[in-house]
Structure 1
């Protein structure tokens, strides 16, 4: 389920979708009729919502000009409010978002106080929290109301809180009333070397949000415990500095040794809980490869066994792809997180990506990864895989799919070329199609009509004779722009041909 669907009620969600569509079109004369048809609303509904949006814009920016025009038109070129700003504006009125901010920012939070502050009934809170409650339940988390909170494995709680607050603001606002931004930035900076996030623009902002949530929770004396499953990575490893946290917090805010160890280990765990590596020269990537390989441990051994298997059964023609440090490092991080938590845990990707139709290349890759983990789960040391096999397979697939040569593992397009019989005329189109990697092309033959996905022809004669023939007219005096149009057509046909109809 997408983030906005979890956090917004139906009316708010419709308004957000309409605003998003207006920003996407970016024209000075958008028809309200067109919008109503696209979003399956009647004209009157759309007109009312557009007027509400127009009024909202002034609440976000007091000098915002009207986007409404005469004759049922909208001028979206006048928009000054971004999609992120408008999302946050709406979420500040959303009960689930309000509730999370409430128990993070206030002392002794409870449901009665929340209802009084936000003028809602307990039944309304319960009803509007249902989608989010169902979502976090899959991570063994639950909302509590007598003492307002999100409870469960505190590591998963904090990641879930980060996902909620980051996606709600995208860094455009500071939603932490109980934590000064400077405090969070200082803490994030003290541990930035451990995090690949710190080396990218938005990643550095994300890390500050993690730090703010860390401070919100520890100041309420809600702590993370040390996990013995970290031992092989962190014990007696000078890279993981367990003294740094209290030095940074200072003598007044320093944590007792018991809690300092657990919280420090959580910070180091966070550096490995997701496939963060995107840069080949990232120092933390090479540190990860070194640390995981330094001592015998089930995480490194499992990843190495998988890579050996994949080189033979998945990447047989291109095994060197699996020697790339980025791939190994990301697989180590994924495996480490599942090895430690042994349950599904919050995933930012699931909240922002639309469910995609399965494609044959991805299905084949997934099946082969599944076969490996089915066998490993039978071994005593890896029994924990049973409970997290599906998300583990999906995570491995996500890392490997970009490296998996799609055209080699997909059904190619069968394309016929009906051009004048002259090498100088056809050589460029054949070269273009060959370079795509997913097209098999040959001179057009009438007896093969049923087999063609597309016929590219410099004449419309084949269509006159065979009206159902999928024909793409190609003027021999084409330019580069027409090549781009042809590419889009071929790409769409290729995607359609390789989608699995369930």
Structure 2
């Protein structure tokens, strides 16, 4: 936001944030000292904010006492984002880049006249943004007309973040296609959507209407090949493009492959999602692709680093979400956010120091193999998202158990298990083909594999002494299994703290 906001607007937002934290009276001197400005300047800024708020919202007002003390009174429905969006969208830099998106920025001199500023001032504003553009592999140019040099793919990614991070779904910024039109068409063809998908399609449709088509890359064709959902969803996406553009069948096909691959990456896959098993087949077909290889390597390093075995559901869900995340970071260059800090990274940094250190240690392990550095070099984008996926996918509380099998002459294993569960809560019955941490039996039956370390023999009808011995044995196994340093690391990482 700092790159795009006018200096005065930035100061207003900083003052607002300061007096927003607490609903109390602040003195102009207190605010002046905090911002290293004169008291006179602060009084002027607050007077301007007071006028602006009357235009922006009915939910907040600045109360003044003797023109030296100020308090921001606001209702529960007041949003600072609304105020920030107002200042951002009224900044000259934002307006200039909005014009560039629509290929309307033909003459900087005309823009300067229309917006009552100077050419020198505009060049200073553009200069502030150039380092940000370079992160997207885009370059500002003003030869025949003002534009951004770079691939159409990167151009669209930049503008998706530009509009999404300035409007946050609260406002529709597109003029060549209305939200109602695109939403109506998507409902007719039964495309599941969320607001980010609407924004993305609006950007792609707008650029296509302007004759700025996506560049061919085999990556899009490879991604859609063997994908269980492509045939069905691509037909629907094509109908949307046919409705709003005059593209040829070949051009629509390319736009569809590109849009499909990105929309797929916007989806979060949950446990019990039927698509997970189908996408595991998709990964098998693409097992030589870098995004699949990097994901396989990630899973291997994760299970080794934390000494954990994931069940099939956890493995599949985590793998598929990581697969799409890695494809996305390989497809686009640039940060994950504009104007705002990355919420995933911020969420991680709000956890205790131990959790942050554990994630950093694990990420350092990922970087040991340089073959995948092209993926993992995007640490600032990935680390918060990895943390979120682990928290959402792995239920460590259910893993913190000892697997047991019970053999009984009088076939009362269910009763015995309930008694053991009362004695020691961290136990779970094995399936027949699973390996047990402990076999509990009343004699050494022939069908028991003779491994003395994991066999506990008690009486046919266990007595108090048997249960006491078993409690000590279970506690010993539990300690040895779960108090290893790497397992404790995972438990700390996934704790609720």
TM-score scaled by structure 2?
A: 0.66
Report if the CA contact (8 A) 1:30-1:74 is conserved: yes
CA RMSD of aligned residues (A): 3.7
Task: Provide the aligned length of Structure 1 versus Structure 2.
Answer: 384
| Matches of 2:82 and 2:221, distance apart in 1 | 43
- Native 8 Å contact 2:241 2:252 kept in 1: no
User: Residue 172 of structure 2 corresponds to which residue in structure 1?
Assistant: 174
Q: Is the 8 A contact 2:4 2:94 kept in 1?
A: yes
CA contact (8 A) 2:96 2:105 kept: no
- The aligned counterpart of 1:277 is 268
Note the residue ranges of structure 1 that are not aligned, 5 or more in a row: 199-203, 378-384, 409-493, 495-502
Match of 1:362 among 352, 356, 359: 356
In 2 relative to 1, CA 83–365 (structure 1 residues): closer, same or farther, beyond 3 Å? closer
Contact 2:227-2:279 within 8 A present in 1 as well:
no
1:390 matched residue in structure 2: 377
1:336 paired with 2:323, answer: no
Distance across 2 between alignment mates of 1:387 and 1:304? 15
SS of 1:225's partner is: coil
Give the superposition deviation at 1:58. 2.1
For 1:259-301, what per-residue CA distance to the aligned partner results, in whole angstroms no more than 9, with x for missing partners?
2122111211212446x52743556655544432344332323
Q: In the superposition, relative to structure 1, how do residues 157 and 285 fare at CA in structure 2: closer, same or farther (>3 Å)?
A: farther
Distance 1:180 1:396, change over 3 A: closer
Secondary structure, counterpart of 2:384 in structure 1: helix
How many Å apart are 1:56 and its aligned residue?
Answer: 1.0
Distance in 2, matches of 1:246 and 1:176, equals: 20
Q: Name the CA shift for 1:64/1:106 in 2 (closer, same or farther; >3 Å).
A: farther
Aligned-residue offset at 1:43:
2.2
* 8 Å CA contact 1:246, 1:255 repeated in 2: no
Contact 2:226/2:282 (<8 A) preserved: no
The CA distance in 1 between the partners of 2:117 and 2:314, in whole Å, is: 56
How far, CA to CA, are the matches of 2:382 and 2:14 in structure 1?
32
Residue 132 of structure 1 deviates from its aligned partner by: 2.1
Q: How far does residue 319 in structure 1 lie from its aligned partner after superposition? A: 5.0
Equivalent of 2:239 in 235, 238, 247? 247
SS at match of 1:293: helix
Structure 1's 252 and 135: CA in aligned 2 closer, same or farther, altered over 3 A? closer
Q: 1:36 offset after TM fit, Å?
A: 3.0
Verify the 8 A CA contact 1:272 1:337 in the aligned structure 2.
no
Superposition deviation, residue 142 in structure 1? 1.8
1:292-303 equivalences under 5 Å are 292-298=283-289, 299-303=291-295
Q: Helix, strand or coil: the match of 1:308?
A: helix
| 2:282 aligned to which of 287, 291, 307 | 291
- Is the Cα–Cα contact under 8 Å of residues 178 and 216 in structure 1 kept in the other structure? yes
Cα distance change of structure 1 residues 323 and 174 upon mapping to structure 2, 3 Å threshold: closer
- When residues 144 and 74 of structure 1 are mapped into structure 2, their CA distance, relative to the original with a 3 A threshold, is same
Q: Tell me if 1:127 matches 2:124.
A: yes
Alignment of 1:347-358 (within 5 A): 347-348=336-337, 351-353=340-342
1:50 aligns with 2:46: yes
Which structure would you say has the larger Rg? 2
Q: Which residue of 2 aligns with 1:260?
A: 252
* Inter-partner Cα distance in structure 2 for 1:106 and 1:139: 19
Cα distance, 1:305–1:85 mapped onto 2, change above 3 Å = closer
Q: CA contact under 8 A between 2:103 and 2:147: conserved in structure 1?
A: no
Larger mean Cα displacement after TM superposition, 142-151 or 50-59: 142-151
